[in-house]
Amino acid sequence: MKKIKIGAVTLLSVLALAACARETDNNTDVITMRGNTITVAEYYDKVKNDTQAQQVLLTMTINEILEEKYGDKVTDEEVTEEYNKSLQAYGDRFQQVLAQEGMTPDTYREQIRTNKLVEYAVNEAAKSELIDENYQAAYEKYTPEVTAQVIRMTDENKAKEVAEKAKNGDDFAQLAKDNSNDEETKDKGGEMKFDSASTALPNEVKTAAFALDNNGVSDVIKVTNNSTLTTSYYVIKVTNKTQKKDNWKDYQKQLESIILAEKRSDRAFIQSVVGKEMEEANIKVKDPAFQNAFSQYMNATGEAAASSRSEDK
């Protein structure tokens, strides 16, 4: 699913300040200076049109709704695991990347938790999509398990040399041990088993593998990670391909994961799920400045959108 970005911690403070102002006095001074002041109301009116501030309020609202309903379904361990994946992927650049996104480690953890809550809600809603028609459609696109040897590298020229050696008959397992930077597979000669539902390899690598015959060796496969903007180069050799069975029910578990994964990446479906949660929570957008931020979800269900637009200002 797409990342719900959370804004800078200062913007969270802005919205918290605005909430306090509505409970007390909009004329409370935030800044005083010789001959002038800046009040809470002035500050709020200025900042509320900032897109980051609007996104923060949207994220806070989604989190409030889903935390109450699904909060016990997302553990701290899950959040930490996801956090550590990013930490490992970005390495020394992690703090810099957080700063560029206007986040701190704490607000990033909050973002991860909100994403996990949305993911859980989407998964629950997607279970209604597990019907024979969708299983059959997923089966038509499904490729069963293959066994392959995979070499992953960061140097394109080195990858080309390895591919040429592999095609000329050099021992692929030894090439993997000597050249692959995948610590989990290199000592096993790069051997992996995967099908089209697997997430262990990039789609580009899986597609190339499925197109090869047994003992076929690929050209260099270039894959860029859109999150970390790092590029890897793969060379693969397929050692065994499984013949596809005729009945989709033989792959029901794998097909279920495909259907659910597709729904998690379906923007319209995600919007409809969040929109329904907003409708059930009777969300009303009181300040028109925030209407656009919420409309992508409120409009996903007609009643919610209508109730929001008809709310008295």
Tens digit of pLDDT per residue, the chain (313 long)? Answer: 334 333 333 333 333 334 444 444 567 777 888 888 888 888 888 888 888 888 888 888 999 999 999 999 999 999 999 999 899 888 898 999 899 888 899 989 998 999 999 999 999 999 999 999 999 999 999 999 999 999 999 999 999 999 999 999 999 999 999 999 999 999 999 999 999 999 999 999 999 999 999 999 999 999 998 777 789 999 999 999 999 999 999 999 999 999 999 998 898 999 999 999 999 999 998 888 888 888 888 754 434 443 333 344 4
- Count CB atoms within 10 A of the CB of residue 225: 11
- Boundaries of every domain in the chain: 9-129+266-309, 143-241
Left, alpha or beta for 97 (phi > 0: left; psi -120 to 50: alpha)?
A: alpha
pTM: 0.70
Give the separation between CA 42 and CA 29, rounded to whole angstroms: 9
Give the separation between CA 206 and CA 197, rounded to whole angstroms: 10
Give the separation between CA 205 and CA 221, rounded to whole angstroms: 7
Give the separation between CA 64 and CA 111, rounded to whole angstroms: 13
Q: Is the domain 143-241 a CATH 3.40.50.2000 member? A: no
